[in-house]
Amino acid sequence: MYLYETHMHTYPTSACATVSPEEQVRHYRKKGYAGIIVTDHFFNGNCGCPRNLPWENKVKFFCEGYNRAKREGDKCDLDVFFGLECSFDGTDFLVYGLSEEFLISYENFDKLKMEDFVSVVREAGGYLAQAHPYRDAFWISNPSPVDLALMDGIEVFNATMPDKLNKKALAFAQKHDLPKQSGSDAHCTSLRKLSGIILQHRAKNIFDIIDAIKSQRVELI
């Protein structure tokens, strides 16, 4: 049984996070996790990257949270995989399966419209899940699930969301037979409860996790 975090943030890549990549890795290792997916906020979200940097420098800044976590994970036997969280008027997607090299090659990737963004991610072999689909806040233009054609999966449990919103997300996923996943959305190490998914076999790479979610060979934490 292997526990994986699917949604978490590090400082300073995510401006709203309060702990370093190294601290996050040590925390999850202590809690018995086999691995984490670092999903820091991308440039169209609450990213801590200076906006005036050249594109390649911006991407390198963004990826440093993952790279630092990966180096720490290698020291303590915690698998660390690369992801990102993108935002479109408050509608957030967790994106897996891309790479630093891909981001460097696609300047202004963050400026794409939602539909074009989804197409590009899929063409690159990536995966998208809508995060906390019913979260409601002043910066969110549409606090509800997006069109089914725009998501490969959906987050049905988010440890920072009220139970009633998680239950709505789960009901939506069940109604439409969507791949389901859960995550902590951890920005610190003081969350009362952590979430994520459980695999029966240790993931060799991010695509093992994507395949497990898509085929629903996961247990939700």
Q: Which domain holds residue 161?
A: 2-220
Sign, CA torsion 92/36/25/50: negative
CATH number at residue 183: 3.20.20.140
pLDDT in tens, 9-29: 999 999 999 999 999 999 999
Radius of gyration of the chain (CA): 16
Q: Which residues pair with 54 in a beta bridge?
A: none
pLDDT in tens, 168-202: 999 999 999 999 999 999 999 999 899 999 999 99
* pLDDT surpassing 80 at residue 164: yes
Number of domains, the chain: 1
pTM for this one?
0.96
Closest CA to 15 of 53, 36, 43, 57: 43
